[in-house]
Chains A and B, each alone.
Chain A
Amino acid sequence: MILFSVGRLCLKLAGRDAGRKCVVVEILDDSFVLVDGDVRRKKVNLKHLEPLAQTLELPNNASHEEVKKVFEKMQLPVWDTKKKATPARQKKVKKVHEAPAVEPKEAKKAAKKSKKEAAEPSALAEEKDN
């Protein structure tokens, strides 16, 4: 595993980080390494990595902050997940239901009557014209 030694700069070939550069942080297995950099810090199959010529100097088991510093020195972009700002919880305010205002029945009837009276005379007039 000389190709994928710690500090090797790689290109990610698969997944949603495909096309981004990363660095090997730790060798986990025959076929798996831990990568970080312009990708999510992640366990990755070697089949999904393309080794590049560069190697970076990294401390053993480097944290994301340490990788970030090295990447920024090389002027490479770094993946940073922003934590979503959780808005402060609002206290529940009890709703007060107000009774809807009800029209008295008699007033409604009177309104209907007046509408009918207004409509009828015009209808009669039209018939006469025809």
Chain B
Amino acid sequence: MVRGMYRSRTLRRVKVKAPGGKVHIHYRQRKPQAAKCAYCLKPLAGVPRENAKVMQSLAKTKKRPQRMYGGKLCGNCLKGMLQRKARDEQ
């Protein structure tokens, strides 16, 4: 029986084959949910799905697209919004 703290599913389980042929279970931290577009809820491209510790070590330019609202809205939704706004003003 494993330790109590490992019996919850908070940590994900990875099967690792040891040199002797035995399969061991390693417990690793789960990754966070993928970033989603605030408008269409589709997963965003260009935003890495990493734990906070890894994200901290990344450069700002590697964490989100350099577009307006990059990392919040997807390109298509932003395009539609800009178009609608431009057409409303005219």
> Which A residues fall within an 8 A CB radius of B?
11, 13-16, 18-19, 50, 52-53
Q: Which of A14, A52, A53 contacts B79 (CB 8 A)?
A: A14
Q: How far is the CA of A37 from the CA of B86 in the complex (A)?
A: 17
User: Is there an interface contact between B68 and A13, defined as CB atoms closer than 8 Å?
Assistant: no
* Interface contacts beyond A50-B83, A50-B87: sample of 17 additional A-B pairs, CB < 8 Å, sorted by A: A11-B83, A11-B86, A13-B78, A13-B79, A13-B83, A14-B75, A15-B67, A16-B66, A16-B70, A18-B67, A18-B68, A18-B82, A19-B78, A19-B82, A50-B86, A52-B86, A52-B90
* Interface of A (DSSP majority class): loop
Interface size grouping (class) on chain B: 10 to 19
Q: How far is the CB of A17 from chain B (nearest CB, A)?
A: 9
Structural contact, A53 and B68, CB atoms closer than 8 A = no
A/B interface sample: 9 pairs, CB < 8 A: A11-B82, A11-B83, A14-B67, A15-B67, A16-B67, A18-B75, A18-B79, A18-B82, A52-B90
CA distance A51 to B26 in the complex (A): 57
Name the A residues within 8 Å of B68 (CB-CB): 16, 18-19
Residues of the A chain whose Cβ atoms lie less than 8 Å from the Cβ of B87: 50
Measured CB to CB, the closest approach of chain A to B32, in angstroms, equals: 26
Q: Which residues of B have CB within 8 Å of A50?
A: 82-83, 86-87
Within 8 A of A (CB), among B25-55: none
Considering only CB atoms, which chain B residue lies closest to A54 in the complex? B90
* Residues in B neighbouring A13, C-beta threshold 8 A: 78-79, 82-83
Smallest Cβ-Cβ distance to B65: which chain A residue:
A16
Docked CA distance A50–B87 (Å): 9
B85 to chain A, nearest CB (A): 9
Complex alpha-carbon distance, A11 and B86, angstroms: 8
Q: Is the CB of A18 within 8 A of B90?
A: no
* C-alpha gap A35/B50 in the complex (Å): 37
